[in-house]
Amino acid sequence: MKEITLSNGMRIPTLGYGVFGIPDPKQCERAVVNAVETGYRLIDTAPGYENEEAVGKAVRNCGLSREEIIVTTKLEASQMGSYDKAMRAFDNSLKTMGLDYMDIYLFHWPMGDVYGAWRALEQIYKEGRVKAIGVCNFWPYRLADFLLDQQILPVINQIEVHPFYQRKTDITWIKDRNIQVQAWSPFAEGKNDIFNNPILKTIGLKYEKSVAQVVLRWLLQQGICVLSKTISSERMVENQQVFDFELNEDDMKNIGKL
């Protein structure tokens, strides 16, 4: 698994495993353990996914030391009413997951008191209870305003990116601020019949790769980190087999047309 270095010096895998849409505790715990066994080292959850407890249990029981797994969770919009409310939410996530510290803590949405809540994230970062802090779903105009008055800048902006929603201008703007883009929903949640798209299938046949692998490779070649979700162990393995080929310029241009 390849890694990148965030602006604060923390190294994270370019591919992570997301658990959105797996609320069943046993299924989620089993899926996370399988993900770790197949090679994933970054697990992404949120209180709104209703599976923090299952993720925490899986991380504690996966057979690896805590330091070998990077865990991300988030501060929900409903928890961003104030500095104190954000601090309580962070403590509650740690308690729910049964962890002593968090690796990455993100705003889930740019809503509510983002300034007071960010002061809380800055504080827990200074205390060493989290290794990196960032945001999700911040459009450049919202991020530009947010960045004006912060002691510690976000190191990640987790946003929706896929072949039908490429956001090239947004991504360039975010990267120019030394903020790492991390893509969620890389397969567009299966919409637009993405797995049968003729352009993606043709490219996949050339490299003997699946459409999913082509999409992941396309994102990685843009310097974007990616979160993918599947409960299939076989697809977990498949989704990681994207470092042994490279799309050429024509491939990138053809995907760009989507």
From residue 128, how far is each of 100, 103, 199 by CA, in Å? 11, 10, 46
Is beta strand 130-136 parallel, antiparallel or unpaired with respect to 156-160?
A: parallel
> If you ran DSSP here, which 8-state letter would residue 224 be given?
-
Cβ-based neighbour number of residue 133 at 10 Å? 23
Q: CA-to-CA distance for 41 and 1, rounded, in angstroms?
A: 8
Residues in the chain: 258
Contact status, residue 158 vs residue 73, Cβ threshold 8 Å: no
Phi and psi angles of residue 28, each rounded to the nearest 5 degrees, phi first: -65, -45
Q: What mean pLDDT comes out for the span 124-135?
A: 98
Mean pLDDT value across residues 97-115? 96
Condensed to tens digits (0 to 9), the pLDDT of residues 137-174 reads 999 999 999 999 899 999 999 999 999 999 999 999 99
Give pLDDT tens digits for 39-80: 999 999 999 999 999 999 999 999 999 999 999 999 999 999
In this prediction, residues 26-30 reach a mean pLDDT of 98
For residue 87, give both structure tokens.
């601090």
Is residue 120 a contact partner of residue 149, using CB atoms and an 8 Å limit?
no
pLDDT category of residue 1 using cuts at 50, 70 and 90: confident
Q: Which residues are catalytic?
A: 49
- Asked if pLDDT for residue 81 goes beyond 90, the answer is no
First to last CA, the chain: 28
CB 189 within 8 A of CB 141: no
Backbone torsions φ then ψ of 71, nearest 5 degrees: -115, 130
The one-character DSSP state at 162 is B
d(CA 84, CA 71): 23
For the whole model, what pTM was predicted? 0.97
Task: Output the pLDDT for position 2.
Answer: 96
Three-state DSSP state, 173:
helix
| Residue 137 neighbours by CB distance under 10 Å | 17
Contacts of 145 (CB under 8 A, 6+ apart): none
